[in-house]
Amino acid sequence: QVQLKESGPGLVKPSETLSLTCTVSGFSLTSYHVSWVRQPPGKGLEWMGVIWGDGSTAYNSALKSRLSISRDTSKSQVFLKMSSLKTEDTATYYCARAPRDWGQGVMVTVSS
Amino acid sequence: DIQMTQSPTSLAASVGESVTITCLASEDIYGSLVWYQQKPGKSPQLLIYGATILEDGIPSRFSGSGSDTQYSLKINSLQPEDFASYYCQNGLSTPLTFGSGTKLEIK
């Protein structure tokens, strides 16, 4: 069955770069897109970006200057990198084969 | 970018009642509207896609309607497990923006 699982550091310092990995199973990254969505504590969902089956990407314009999404199809992994982190980037980060299949999310705290 | 305006922000209702949540898109999204339910500490769960198509396994008390820029999620005969947060999402074009969410609480 389709599974997605996020992994990465739970704590990152301000101004540093966040690197998250989404490891998928049950489908091919060349056939399906994977999105990243985040949710600050107690707040709503924010769409961050997507990597399409052909490898092209699209980003939230508010994050575009700091965000990069890539993949390694041989490892069935999708990567998120976001630079110049701020405390307001503290959130649970989800990867999803939207709209149906979501990872469990990984909580990332940005703090010194 | 397409903006999604969701209302109300919060809603209190009793078990057995019916409620409606609305979502207004800033431009025509041609029925490409998704509804999610999210419970605390959990990932969003797909309820409805294509504005009106109920996801497999979702109870029929959930229904979606709308077209163009105006969409609604109706929940009939609320059950205890329905008290959660609900989000709409533009599924037409990137950025795939979410509405701000509706928290449904027990009265």
Interface with A, mutate which of B96, B98, B102 (most A CBs under 10 A):
B96
pLDDT of res. B82: 98
* Residue-level pLDDT, tens digit, chain A, 112 residues: 999 999 999 999 999 999 999 999 999 999 999 999 999 999 999 999 999 999 999 999 999 999 999 999 999 999 999 999 999 999 999 999 999 999 999 999 999 9
When CB atoms are compared, the residue of B1, B38, B96 closest to A61 is B1
Q: Tell me if B96 and A47 make a contact (CB, 8 A cut-off).
A: yes
Helix (H) or strand (E) holding A57: strand A57-59
pLDDT of res. A2: 98
When CB atoms are compared, the residue of B34, B49, B100 closest to A44 is B100
Per-residue pLDDT band for B2 (boundaries 50, 70, 90) equals: very high
Q: Let me know how long chain B is.
A: 107
DSSP one-letter string for B16-76: T--EEEEEEESS--TT-EEEEEE-TTS--EEEEETTTEEPTT--TTEEEEEETTEEEEEE-
3-state secondary structure of B96: coil
pLDDT tens sequence across B48-101: 999 999 999 999 999 999 999 999 999 999 999 999 999 999 999 999 999 999
If you count residue pairs, one on A and one on B, with CB atoms under 8 Å apart, how many are there? Answer: 49
A55 vs A58: CA distance, rounded Å: 10
